[in-house]
Structures are given as structure tokens and as C-alpha cells.
Amino acid sequence: MRNFCISILFLSSIQLFSQDTKAIELQKYWISKAQQDLHTNNVWGAFCQYYFAYEMAPDNEEGKNSLELADSLRTILRTDLKHRLKGVWKIHVFGRIKSENDRAHYTRLGKFLKISDDSIVFFKRRTDLKSNNFKSKQAIKFCDLETMLPVYNDIIHSNGNIWNYHVEENGEVLRITDSGELLGDKSRSEIISHPSGYTYKRIR
């Protein structure tokens, strides 16, 4: 939802300014918005605005500075995300599992997740948590490949799939949505509308 809102803001601003305002003026607009967001400690908003400022004129000094600032803010956001991800999570099933397709969907990742500073461990059952009998384990590796909109929380799984990890503000709900897959070392696919996903709730 947040990405959708920021994309609408971005596209509407281009429509507003494109007729009679140069890219430099629009760049200044986004830089000003970023500074306002930083003033209110809205790091995510400032990250997006600086990225948009860079996109307007990537080769001038302001564009280069905006990209550096966006990269710095992305690092801050990722550090905070890793802190918020730490813990044990249980998948939340909406309704009842009525078919094998439903069962396959909800077991695609793992019923339980145990996340540390540098890894995500997937478990099939609660008892497997105690014995550390995990289904799969992988390092937390963020995806830096270009996307239509700025993103900091896409994580690459070992099979090449890319998942977006988002922890709600209360810290108790984790949403993992399908965000595409690697197509090579320098490219990826991207899912913009109606991605499939999973909801997990913190159990400790």
C-alpha cells in the first residue's frame, strides 16, 4: 500500500510538472520534499524522494548527491528492518485450508520462521524449532537491482526468487510478498500488481 501511494504521488507530480516545468525544477521539488521528510524523521519517505530527485536528472551534481543520500538512507532502513525482523514467526492462515492447492500455498515457505541478524530459517512444525530441524536456511541478502519504484526490503532467496519483507508498525505482523525473480546477475523480473504473499505473526 505504501509503495502504491508513493507511486501515485510520483506519477501525478510528473503529470503536473511535465507540461511547463523542466526536470531540474522537478528535481528541486523532490529534494525539498526529502528534506521535509527528514525533518519529521520520515526516513522511508526521504529515501523515496531522493531517489525520485536522482531520476529527474541523474548526471548533475544534485542528482549524484541525491543518489548518495538515497543509498545512505536505504542502509539505515535495512538495518532497522533486520532489527524488526528478528524473532520467531508463525504463518497466519486466513479461513480454512480446503484443498491441496491451499496446503501447497501455505507450506511454500514454512509454517514457522526464525530470523536472526543474518539469516532466515524455515521450519515445517513447531516441534522442529526445538530440535532445530529446519526445512531450509539462507542468508539475508538484499536485492539492489533496479526496480520501477524505490525499494529497500526485497530479499533474494537461494532459489532466485525475490520476496518483499515488511513488518507492520506494531512489530507483531510480518508480510512477505512475491516480488519477482532473478533473471541474471544484472536483471530481475518485478511483480507490480496483485502479488501473492503470506502473513506471519510474531510468537516471540
Q: Across residues 53-69, what is the average pLDDT? A: 96
Distance from chain centroid for Cα 162: 10
Q: Is the dihedral of CA 135, 137, 141, 142 positive or negative?
A: positive
Phi, psi of 184, rounded to the nearest 5 degrees: 165, -170
Q: Looking at residue 108, what is its pLDDT? A: 85
User: How many other CB atoms sit within 10 Å of the CB of residue 171?
Assistant: 12
Distance from chain centroid for Cα 68: 19
> Which range is most confident: 6-10, 101-105, 159-163?
159-163
67 and 50 Cβ atoms separated by less than 8 Å? yes
β-bridge partners, 112: 90, 123
Count CA atoms within 13 Å of residue 81 on its CB side. Answer: 25
Question: Domain locations in the chain?
Answer: 2-82, 86-202
Q: Has residue 24 got a pLDDT over 70? A: yes
Q: Looking at residue 98, what is its pLDDT? A: 63
Query: Which amino acid type is present at position 53?
Result: A
pTM attached to this predicted model = 0.85
Rounded to whole angstroms, how far apart are CA atoms 82 and 167?
10
DSSP 53-85: HHHH-TTSHHHHHHHHHHHHHHHHHHHHHHHHH
Query: Sheet containing 119-123: which strands, arranged edge to edge?
Result: 136-139, 119-123, 112-115, 87-91, 197-202, 173-181, 161-167, 154-156
Fold of 2-82: Methane Monooxygenase Hydroxylase; Chain G, domain 1 (1.20.58)
β-bridge partners, 202: 89
Q: Looking at residue 193, what is its pLDDT? A: 77
Rounded to whole angstroms, how far apart are CA atoms 1 and 34?
20
Q: Looking at residue 105, what is its pLDDT? A: 75
Question: Dmax over Cα atoms in the chain, in whole Å?
Answer: 65
pLDDT digits (tens, 9 = 90+) for 130-184: 999 999 999 999 999 989 999 999 999 999 999 999 999 999 999 999 999 999 8
